[in-house]
Structure 1
């Protein structure tokens, strides 16, 4: 199992922008991706972890930065895309067969804990 502590992800509503009919990643989205790549590299250095092609289970524990009302499903896209971009955990987030997301108590600054494990065969 891989366990990572990462920054609280931005909402999908703030990651993508439409400009002249094209959809592009916002500055906030690019910053989050870069920050996540650096955090994962730092946490996985010297662990011997290499990207797997196996089917995966992922648990996300969200500790929001404040107690505002939030839809927890709006945070998965930025998080999964940033992890995919590292190339360190999986080849593509389509390998995830089981994804659970749990909101935890607010914590100043916000963060998330991501637990990833192989499940072997594809879930039914």
Structure 2
């Protein structure tokens, strides 16, 4: 079974990824585009392409004490994994867990993503 892991910057909430534009349509927000550039700079070398169904664990280091919905943080990370070629499509993720880091392993504002091909 192949696996992939990376430490990324804290992603924007799904509520801040896209905005509506006049005459219909949606585009990435400036905040999302800026985060993508930061994530690309943190991209590990030796990208592994995962096949079939994948189990994903996203661990987030709280950047501050504000109340946040951890489930709203996954989308930007998953889409970036597709953009990098780690996943062909995020529909490969069959089991997905998001959690706050309570161990102190992550710095505030970091996101650790761990993927493994399902057996």
Is the TM-score greater than 0.5? yes
What is residue 78 of structure 1 aligned with on the other side?
76
In structure 1, C-alpha distance between the alignment counterparts of 2:89 and 2:37, rounded to whole Å: 18
Runs of 4+ in 1 over 3 A off after TM superposition: 105-109
State yes or no: 1:100 paired with 2:94. Answer: no
Tell me, which stretches of 5 or more residues in structure 2 are unaligned? none
TM-score by structure 1 length? 0.82
**Between 103-112 and 30-39, the greater mean CA deviation after superposition:** 103-112
Q: What SS does the aligned partner of 2:83 have? A: helix
CA contact (8 A) 1:54 1:95 kept: yes
TM-score by structure 2 length? 0.85
CA 1:66/1:108 → structure 2, altered by over 3 Å: closer, same or farther? farther
State the superposition RMSD in angstroms. Answer: 1.8
Q: Deviations over 1:31-55 (max 9, x none)?
A: 2122222312xx2x2x4x4322221
In structure 1, C-alpha distance between the alignment counterparts of 2:98 and 2:107, rounded to whole Å: 20
Looking at secondary structure, tell me which structure has more helix per residue.
1
State yes or no: 1:26 paired with 2:24. Answer: no
Tell me, which stretches of 5 or more residues in structure 1 are unaligned? none
Alignment: residue pair count: 114
CA contact (8 A) 1:55 1:119 kept: yes
